[in-house]
């Protein structure tokens, strides 16, 4: 595991990938979105979240060097110096550490993850890691994702000592209610990590749930602040500004 505080100059290369042999480093890429942050989206995931709205627009293999070179060019054109690597689940990309090592010298790198691949996170270089905890109750987590939350909880425990972690949960009425949010906040209180609560939005998924009211989101935050000093919600601010462009081919 490697963290970067102050940024340093990164050495970039332009090596292209010609094949997908196992010995060749590559990242499977869906697309890159540019707003006030450069978001690198990978297409695959090991969860089957019932409220996921992410639809990969591609599935191309590129070398970490080629992706980094494109991100450098985007930075030169836009001035954006923050990179978010998300998905899908980016830690399914075994060569993610190579990409983050290149980027972390010149960019503020954040990895958004479900927390199930700590081995890849330990080898990656980043400034922040955002872990999405769907539910503290294991049965609820399985109901929502098809998978246990044991690895997720262990990931939070391991990285909470770094002070570079943020945990987030989607408030889903009828599934992840105020009592579940309170349980998560109490669990996180051991480390007092930043906690973000996002209101569920129905968007072409199989989950029969309504969108939470603003007062329900505020109440979830009020309850969480009994245990945590840094709580934010999707009502407080937009995570990112409106995107400027989407890049699907490199």
Lowest mean pLDDT among 27-31, 175-179, 181-185, 206-210: 206-210
Q: 174 in a domain, yes or no?
A: yes
Nearest-angstrom CA–CA distance, 89 and 85: 9
Count CB neighbours of 229 within 10 A: 10
Q: 11 in a domain, yes or no?
A: no
Q: 237 in a domain, yes or no?
A: yes
pLDDT band of residue 77 (cuts 50, 70, 90) is: very high
Residues spanned by the domain of 211: 19-247
The per-residue pLDDT for 239 is 56
- Return the closest-CA partner of residue 55 out of 83, 87, 91, 89: 87
Task: Assess contact for 84 and 126: CB atoms under 8 A.
Answer: no
Across the chain, what does the average pLDDT equal?
88
The per-residue pLDDT for 40 is 96
pLDDT band of residue 250 (cuts 50, 70, 90) is: low
Q: 211 in a domain, yes or no?
A: yes
pLDDT over threshold 90, residue 75: yes
Q: 117 in a domain, yes or no?
A: yes
Q: 119 in a domain, yes or no?
A: yes
Nearest-angstrom CA–CA distance, 12 and 23: 20
Domain tally, the chain: 1
β-partners of residue 167 are: 131, 195
pLDDT band of residue 143 (cuts 50, 70, 90) is: very high
Q: Which pLDDT tens digit goes with each residue over 193-247?
A: 999 999 999 877 778 899 999 999 999 999 999 999 999 999 996 655 665 667 7
Nearest-angstrom CA–CA distance, 49 and 129: 20
The per-residue pLDDT for 244 is 67
What CATH number is given to the structural domain containing 178?
A: 3.20.20.70
Q: 54 in a domain, yes or no?
A: yes
As a whole number, mean pLDDT of residues 48-59 equals 85
pTM of the model: 0.87
pLDDT over threshold 90, residue 181: yes
pLDDT band of residue 39 (cuts 50, 70, 90) is: very high
Nearest-angstrom CA–CA distance, 222 and 201: 21
């Amino acid at each position: 595991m490697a963290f970067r505080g102050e940024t340093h100059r990164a050495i970039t290369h332009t090596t292209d990938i010609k094949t997908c042999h196992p010995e060749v480093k590559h990242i499977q890429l869906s697309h890159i979105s540019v707003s006030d942050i450069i978001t690198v989206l990978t297409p695959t995931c090991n969860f089957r979240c019932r409220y996921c709205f992410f639809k990969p627009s591609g599935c191309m293999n590129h070398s970490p060097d080629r992706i980094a070179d494109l991100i450098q060019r985007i930075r030169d054109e836009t001035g954006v110096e923050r990179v978010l690597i998300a998905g899908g689940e980016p830690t399914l990309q075994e060569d993610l550490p190579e990409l983050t090592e290149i980027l972390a010298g010149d960019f503020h790198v954040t990895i958004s993850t479900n927390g199930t691949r700590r081995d890849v996170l330990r080898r990656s270089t980043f400034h922040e890691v955002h872990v999405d905890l769907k539910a503290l109750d294991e049965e609820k987590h399985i109901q929502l994702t098809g998978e246990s939350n044991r690895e997720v909880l262990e990931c939070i425990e391991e990285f909470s000592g770094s002070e570079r972690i943020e945990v987030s949960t989607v408030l889903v009425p009828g599934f992840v209610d105020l009592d579940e949010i309170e349980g998560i906040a109490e669990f996180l209180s051991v480390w007092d990590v930043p906690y973000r609560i996002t209101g569920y939005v129905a968007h072409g998924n199989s989950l029969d749930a309504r969108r939470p009211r603003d007062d329900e989101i505020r109440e979830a935050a009020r309850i969480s602040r009994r245990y945590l000093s840094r709580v934010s919600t999707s009502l407080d601010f937009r995570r990112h500004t409106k995107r400027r462009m989407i890049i699907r081919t490199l």
